[in-house]
Structure 1
Amino acid sequence: MTVKNEEKRDESGNSQEAALNNEDLWGSDMYPERRGKKFQHSWFKILLGAQGRESIDKNRCEHNVYKCIKESPIIKLMMGALRSSGCEIDIRRHISCEVCNPIVTGGYDSEFNQIIICQNSAHSEDMIRGVLLHEMIHMFDYCRNKLDVKNIDHLACTEIRAANLGHCSFMGSLLQGDSSFTNIKATHQNCVKHKARLSVMAVHKVSKEVAEAAIERVFTKCYNDLEPIGRRIRRNSFDMPRAYAEGYLYGYDM
């Protein structure tokens, strides 16, 4: 997957590309432990029980990560696809459980080629499996497709792919207001665009209109790119084990 890299300009005529070079795309407010920063405790939240259990959360998170990698068919497929594409992944080096802003459950740090699982917001094994799948798609795109997160079109594309392959069931889309029983045909695409837009806005700190424009520019191509899973995963279906069983057909090291 290759996205055309064109320089865009804002309303004042300034290059967005130049602005992004000075922008903290990673968002230290979302991931306070990144770049050597320390998580700041609040004594009030400790007294309420909302903080002060970071060691327990980290151990639980790491246990669930290990369990997903060993037992989840879709995560084993992603691990095999990464290895077969020349993208070695060591869970001790490339996956980190950390304290994050509560509004996020995970992230992918392309500078360190590392997946972040938010131990304080991704509590269950199912949530962590979803985060791993989403972020492993970003890792796959970074390694194999030369993802550049400073390019808003690249970012839009990988967010479309991650939402398309691992999220957006009909009921989930209905609950978040992206679909109704009268537009079932467009339900999945609406959900994918919604999730991708939120991520692009958060990472690049742009308006809804700018994010939507980037998504529309690349949507058709990126929505139809199903590699390395080969299918859209539906909730409560056999899609995950089927995708894993078919992995060898694509030459993945299973």
Structure 2
Amino acid sequence: MTFIDNPDEPKPESKTTDKKINSTQEDLSQWGYDLYPDRRKPNNEPKSISGFLAGKGKENIDKIKCERSVYKCVKQSPLVKLMMGALKASGCGIDIRRHISCEECAPSVSGGYDPIMNQVVICQNTARKEGTIQSVLIHEMIHMFDYCRNNLDFRNIDHLACTEIRAANLAHCSFMSAWINGDASPFNIKEAHQNCVKSKALSSVLAARNISKLEAIDAIERVFPKCYPDLEPIGRRIRRNSLDMEKAFEEGYYYGFDQS
């Protein structure tokens, strides 16, 4: 789950990005659907003149702009292309029309991953800049990669904590972002990145599950030693104002990731 700044495990018969969690008996609010209202609205919801005059027709314009930015990122961003290639190499290729959706969301989030529909959600009302959309795509594609490659079970709190640690580690945290978020100081530069990762992972876990802060922290600390060093499939932590994105993309070739 991506924020504005600030139980049996399913066994897929084959590797595909279209495997779904059986949600017939589940309360979908546990998946964070209250943050993504379009996931619950009927597609044929009637449009009224009063609604249009109140500005509700703006969603279509936002959607078009969002989809254009997504397409541009897919074509031009080294890390998005790397993630697409890694998913394809794992047998979980992405059809951007099927697996990426621009939607209206709660103001507190800029994107998310829907494990039931296996879709990356881009929040068209909050993720407006291409840089933000790129960051959301990478973050949520890491969740998609973990779900495809590692049989991630989002109902398992340790699994959830692990994938949020990985996404924060690979897609978000740098010393500058850690400083802005208050996770860094001149006295803990060495630990700044780890603190930033834990902070972002904690926010995501708490938003996605109705658990106490202490339970979320315990889960993060439990899996952190194993999940923090796991840099697959990007292979390196991306520093700001560096060539790390281009280098990661070029190195994907050695791991069999399609770079076309």
Query: Which TM class, normalised by the smaller chain length?
Result: 0.7 to 0.9
Number of residue pairs matched by the alignment: 234
Corresponding residue of 2:64? 59
Counting only pairs closer than 5 Å after superposition, residues 1-254 of structure 1 correspond to structure 2 as 22=27, 24-37=29-42, 47=54, 51-254=56-259
Structure 2 CA distance for aligned equivalents of residues 23 and 120 of structure 1: 22
Q: Is the 8 A contact 2:51 2:57 kept in 1?
A: no
**Over aligned residues, Cα RMSD in angstroms?**
2.3
TM-score of the pair, normalised by structure 2: 0.84
What is the SS of the residue equivalent to 1:25? helix
Runs (4 or more) in structure 1 with deviation over 3 Å come to 20-23, 35-41, 43-47
- CA shift for structure 1 position 40: 11
TM-score of the pair, normalised by structure 1: 0.86
Structure 1 CA distance for aligned equivalents of residues 139 and 209 of structure 2: 18
What is the SS of the residue equivalent to 2:122? strand
Deviations 1:14-50 (A, max 9, x none): xxxxxx9656222232000114457999x79975x6x
What is the SS of the residue equivalent to 2:131? helix
Deviations 1:74-104 (A, max 9, x none): 1000000000000021000000000000100
What is the SS of the residue equivalent to 2:221? helix
Q: Which amino acid aligns with 2:186?
A: F
Deviations 1:93-143 (A, max 9, x none): 000000000100000001111000000000010000000000000000000
Structure 2 CA distance for aligned equivalents of residues 112 and 187 of structure 1: 35
Q: Which amino acid aligns with 1:224?
A: P
What is the SS of the residue equivalent to 2:34? coil
Bigger relative contact order, structure 1 or 2 (CA pairs below 8 A, ≥6 apart): 2
